[in-house]
Copies of this chain bind each other. A is one copy, B any other.
Amino acid sequence: MNMLEKFPITQYISEEGKTVHSEATDITADLVKLFYEKMLRARMMDKKCVNLQRQGRIGTYVPYEGQEAAQVGSALAVEKGDWMFPTYRDHAATMTFGHSLRNLLLYWVGRIEGGIPPEGKNIFPPAVPIASQLLHATGVAWAEKKKKTDRVSLVYFGDGATSEGDFHEGLNFASVFKVPVVFFNQNNGYAISVPMEKQMNSKTIAQKGLAYEIPSIRIDGNDIVAVYLETKKAVERARNGEGPTLIEAVTWRYGAHTTADDPSKYRDQAESDQRRTTGDPLLRLEKYMKNEGLWDEEWVTTMENKITNEINTALEEMQNYPDPSIDDVFENVFEKPTWTLDEQLKQHRSIKRGQMS
């Protein structure tokens, strides 16, 4: 069985910005503009963070430039009340879903608050141990099913994550208990330096769904229309009690794995840069909007200004945020601190105050 043929990359909008799928026309002009705005916002935030990191104003940062369509398109396909499970690279998704920019910035200066979503937004803190979050998403969705709501989980993970045991166990549990979860894979071709060909012998990630009888689809992750509409379908299936879906969104990260990584060690960065002119998700939507007569330079400039302000405000808020306190660490190990924690905090404070006995 040729899996590349069985799982062709579904596109709705071609790289030239042309409609190549009948359902693409379901997308309204307002929605297209929303897509563009949210992707622009995500990209501007990412660029800002890379700059802030270079200036030493935030710590090591994980850029997502190039993956905006995958993250924004999928995040727009879920509703308030649904649950989102990001990794360290999925801030375009969480900010689109309603995370606070200030908290995202707090995350990058090593603040606990960075992991906390605004009230009413069901967003998990970014998962750092690879693939572990698939099980949380499955468990949370299972709880929704037990509570007989129609809420779903949307969980992000990379190509590298498919190698971990937790990927397998997450998909199997979801399938066995038929829980409403959408497994959204961003296949950006690399797990740090390891290319997909070394990560697996399969040509697609979508085919891994066959092991669990989970419906799977492979889509152009840089085509936001494809991402949005296909995620929406998966979400609807989940809401209707039809169980999990695996989506492989084929995409690319232009930059380094993190700001501490040097991608030229393991790949040709010129080739990667080349993709900016061909496969870029924002450029593609721009072309599409131009083709459809929806492009308006003035509107874009207005948006850019608005976003710049929003980011600057968030940055200011981050910088003016009250200093971190070790109390927050002690107070949140258990609901009620044990004597061990009480004693340790007391001693810590006493030495800090210089009140040595």
Residues of chain A having any CB pair with chain B under 8 Å? 1, 3, 163-169, 172, 175-176, 178, 198-203, 207-208, 210-214
* A176-B199, A208-B211, A210-B210 given; 14 more Cβ-contact pairs under 8 Å: A163-B169, A164-B169, A165-B166, A167-B168, A175-B201, A176-B201, A178-B201, A200-B212, A201-B213, A202-B212, A202-B213, A203-B213, A207-B210, A207-B211
Copies per assembly: 2
Select from chain B the residue with minimum beta-carbon distance to A197.
B176
Inter-subunit contact B213/A3 (CB<8 Å): yes
What residues on B are CB-neighbors of A172 within 8 Å? 163, 200-201
What residues on B are CB-neighbors of A213 within 8 Å? 3, 201-203
Residue of A3, A172, A201 with most chain B CB atoms under a 10 A cut-off: A201
Inter-subunit contact A202/B198 (CB<8 Å): no
What residues on B are CB-neighbors of A214 within 8 Å? 201
What residues on B are CB-neighbors of A164 within 8 Å? 165, 169
What residues on B are CB-neighbors of A200 within 8 Å? 172, 175-176, 212
Complex CA distance for A108 and B176, rounded to whole angstroms:
35
Min CB gap A181→B, angstroms: 13
Complex CA distance for A176 and B178, rounded to whole angstroms:
30
A165 partner, pick from B1, B168, B176, B207, beta carbons under 8 A = B168
What residues on B are CB-neighbors of A198 within 8 Å? 176
Select from chain B the residue with minimum beta-carbon distance to A243.
B201
What residues on B are CB-neighbors of A168 within 8 Å? 165, 167-169
What residues on B are CB-neighbors of A212 within 8 Å? 200-202
Complex CA distance for A212 and B203, rounded to whole angstroms:
9
What residues on B are CB-neighbors of A1 within 8 Å? 210
Ordered by A's residue number, 10 sampled pairs between the chains whose C-beta atoms are within 8 Å are A3-B213, A164-B165, A165-B165, A165-B169, A168-B169, A176-B198, A176-B201, A202-B212, A207-B211, A211-B211
What residues on B are CB-neighbors of A175 within 8 Å? 200-202
